[in-house]
Amino acid sequence: MVGIRDLAQRLNLSIGTVSRALNGKPDVNEETRKRVSDAADAMGYVPNQAGRALRKGSTGVVGFMMQTGSEITGEGDMFFMSVFDGVQTVFARHQLDLVALLCSSQEDPDAYLQRVVARGFADALIISATKREDHRIDFLANRKIPFIALGRSETDAGHPWLDLDFEGMAETGITRLVEKGHRRIGIFAPLDDANLGFILISAYRDVLNRHGIDFDPDLVFRGYPNERGGHAIAHAIAAMPKERRPTSFLLANEALSLGLYNGLYEVGLPPGQAIAVIGRDSPQAHFLVPKLTCFTLSLRELGIALAESLLATMPGYEQQYPLGTVRRVVPLELFEGQSDRNRGGA
């Protein structure tokens, strides 16, 4: 790569003069500035950002940590790209670039984050897939690195976070199913210690309890949050004794509905007829037959809120975004489809 030293040598100028010319300092005359600028273009000069970061303490980059790996591809795919779009809308106002930090499913997220921070190429971080206890939160807070969590955690460093309103989904979804006569309501939860699993199951128990329905652990279906996971649920339901099966199902995860639909058709328990289904909106869900009754939110808006809430905590941006430390759940709306039109046998 052509650096400032090569440029200075070629032009027979000092590095200081070339640097001041490139940075538009007033003590360089127009002719010199033009010579430097033309030579920089012609030689393919690349400003050394590593040097800049050292001086300014600012890289202009914000990292969004997410996990990759075949078993989580479903959710990772559909959700994050739309969120990124919203985040970028905000960052574009400030010439900040978003990069996705891809933590392989093979790797410990804590060790990954520590390495990424040590590489030091981002000014701030967005973390996702928060666990019930999440060491990343303490790690970043201790190092005073600005960050926001997409997802709640029991680990509390007084940090900003946004999360989906899983309690609201449980309340609205289960009450709707109970009012249609359902008493056996199945629910999906992830296999790992993602905090959303704890929040969702806890809310599910509370709402059932309020409706006078006993919690039945057999109605909690655990699996991978992707199409195959949804497909597997249908086959697990079919394998249960008839009187033990759920008559309805709440899916708070968007990636499973396609697989669940197809599985339910395969085992002869069609959605909206044998089993009422309430799910989450997704590009694929639009094409399901019968139309999926689902919770919707604008992922782009969620991305915008994430970015603005993060900037509210970053030096140099907090005055433009006087939001304080944002810690809130984002509500979802219910779209009424036909997938839960069947009534439960009371």
Site for a second copy, rule CB under 8 A: 1-2, 44, 46-51, 53-54, 59-61, 63, 68-70, 73-74, 76-78, 81-82, 84-85, 88-89, 92, 97-102, 104-107, 115-121, 142-145, 226-228, 231, 258-259, 261-262, 265, 283-284, 286-287, 289, 300
**Would you say 28 and 20 are in contact if contact means Cβ atoms under 8 Å apart?**
yes
Q: Given the complex with a second copy, which of 17 and 298 has the nearer CB atom?
A: 298
Q: Given the complex with a second copy, which of 53 and 323 has the nearer CB atom?
A: 53
**Shortest Å, Cβ 86 to a second copy:** 10
Q: Given the complex with a second copy, which of 285 and 326 has the nearer CB atom?
A: 285
**Shortest Å, Cβ 287 to a second copy:** 4
Using alpha carbons only, what angle is made at residue 299 by residues 140 and 100, rounded to the nearest 5 degrees? 45
Helices 109-119 and 135-142 cross at an angle (nearest 10°) of 20
**Shortest Å, Cβ 92 to a second copy:** 7
**Shortest Å, Cβ 25 to a second copy:** 18
Q: Hey, what amino acid is at 249? A: F
The string of DSSP codes covering 225-278 is SSHHHHHHHHHHHHTS-GGGS-SEEE--STTSHHHHHHHHHHTT--BTTTBEEE
Q: In 120-165, which ranges are continuous DSSP H helix?
A: 135-142
Q: Hey, what amino acid is at 242? A: K
Report CA torsion sign: 166, 168, 171, 177.
negative
**Would you say 159 and 137 are in contact if contact means Cβ atoms under 8 Å apart?**
yes
**Shortest Å, Cβ 99 to a second copy:** 5
Residue 282: which residues within 8 A CB-CB, separation 6 or more? 78, 254, 255, 257
- Token readout for 20 is 């001041």
Q: Given the complex with a second copy, which of 144 and 242 has the nearer CB atom?
A: 144
Q: Given the complex with a second copy, which of 52 and 327 has the nearer CB atom?
A: 52
Q: Given the complex with a second copy, which of 100 and 274 has the nearer CB atom?
A: 100
**Shortest Å, Cβ 61 to a second copy:** 6
Rounded distance, CA 185 to CA 163, Å?
A: 24
CA distances from 234 to 51, 217, 237, 241, 248 (A): 56, 17, 5, 13, 12
Q: Given the complex with a second copy, which of 15 and 99 has the nearer CB atom?
A: 99
**Shortest Å, Cβ 322 to a second copy:** 24
**Shortest Å, Cβ 50 to a second copy:** 4
CA atoms within 13 A on the CB side of 229: 23
Q: Given the complex with a second copy, which of 101 and 187 has the nearer CB atom?
A: 101
